[in-house]
Amino acid sequence: SAVISQKPSRDICQRGTSLTIQCQVDSQVTMMFWYRQQPGQSLTLIATANQGSEATYESGFVIDKFPISRPNLTFSTLTVSNMSPEDSSIYLCSVGLQRGLTDTQYFGPGTRLTVL
């Protein structure tokens, strides 16, 4: 697997502000993903972060609210814009690695966000 780090590990923010979360991998990877885990809920895929092109967003998520950057094959950022209390969640990045016949996703430790 890869070593995946996220910054910050947690933050408390005021409504209306924005927070940028960083995801760093210790090796070059093609696939990077961003997930949201709302309190007591499962994980929902926000978008696939594509290197050199715009991210691919899932239904219900838009670029204006969750802009994503992927400047190289080891780094990505997710910004949560104009936050409201409903954005309080754990945000996780993951990478897809070729293991055997297909790909497997490995996850970072997550960023716990509280919006007041």
Q: For residue 67, what are the contacts with CB-CB under 8 A and spacing of at least 6?
A: 78, 79, 81
Q: How far apart are CA 66 and CA 26, in angstroms?
A: 24
Q: Which is nearer to other proteins, 101 or 116 (CB)?
A: 101
53 is a contact residue toward other proteins (CB under 8 A): no
Residue 85 sits at the vertex; the CA angle it makes with 79 and 88, to the nearest 5 degrees, is 60
- Give the interface segment with other proteins, choosing from 11-19, 64-72, 81-89, 105-113 (CB under 8 A): 105-113
Q: Where are the alpha helices (DSSP H) in the chain?
A: none
Encoded one letter per residue, x for contact with other proteins by CB under 8 A and - for no contact, window 57-96 reads: -----------------------------------x-x-x
38 is a contact residue toward other proteins (CB under 8 A): no
